[in-house]
Amino acid sequence: MELKDGERIDDLQCKGYRIIQNESKFCFGMDAVLLSGFAKVKPGERVIDLGTGTGIIPILLEAKTKGAHFTGLEIQEESAEMAGRSVELNHLSGKVDIVTGDIKEASKIFSNGSFEVVTTNPPYMNDQHGLKNPELPKAIARHEILCSLEDVVREGAKVLKENGRMYMVHRPFRLVEIFDVMRKYKLEPKRMRLVHPYADKEPNMVLIEALKGGKPMLKVEPPLIVYRDVNVYHPEIYEIYGYEGDK
């Protein structure tokens, strides 16, 4: 696989899969990996990842589940092209598609009710949250420049089948807003897990499962602790990543 300037190939430590990344553009983080471990995909289900970036979530879900097909939607042409080459690198062209397109147009690009599962690792910050990265690709990934939380939830709800599931990773400080928007579009939060960097620290991520057309009842799962000591992962993190480490 020929690489472009600034690109590298990283080993995903899962089924021998690898991924192409460019640090000057955007590299996937732990949040995407944790979402791939939290999402449940049943045999035969079709999955779409909204704002797929490097394509990490579709590739990991293909490795970890028995879903029938995985699609990544990405608005940035360079990222989508790079993700497509990662799909080819892993010989997954029959199972994973990368589509260049706008999340705000997802229900026009794909027919309504065409997926059983939606995953998304959307931009966490709006205009009132933090400083924007001066590099546009990274700013687009982290700030709501090209789409809002409501855009993501609205379009995700449209492309989901009835009783389909949306899986999202986000920041806890926007949790009330997330639940409000999900309910507005008939997505009922059903399962939630807070992610803490250390056992004695506040959570800095939240994993959410919502059911289209579901009835109110939320299950709060035990917290997920990332580090048990400085630079030493909690054993569950090694399990989610899918490799053996110094536990």
Give residue for tokens 């990662």. 86
Domains and their CATH numbers in the chain: 7-241 (3.40.50.150)
Given phi > 0 = left and psi -120 to 50 = alpha, else beta, which region is 53? left
Whether the CB-CB separation of 102 and 146 falls below 8 Å is answered with yes
The residues near 5 (Cβ < 8 Å, ≥ 6 apart) are none
Q: Report pLDDT digits (tens) over 9-39.
A: 999 989 999 999 998 888 999 999 999 999 9
| Interatomic CA distance for residues 15 and 33, integer angstroms | 15
**Among the ranges given (29-43, 58-72, 124-138, 231-245), the one the predictor scored with the smallest mean pLDDT:** 124-138
Q: What pLDDT is recorded for position 143?
A: 45
Mean pLDDT across the chain, nearest whole number? 91
Q: What pLDDT is recorded for position 142?
A: 55
Mean pLDDT of 84-90: 98
Does residue 133 have a pLDDT over 50? Answer: no
Q: Report pLDDT digits (tens) over 34-72.
A: 999 999 999 999 999 999 999 999 999 999 999 999 999
Q: How much is the pTM?
A: 0.92
In sign, the C-alpha dihedral spanning 189, 158, 71, 144 is: negative
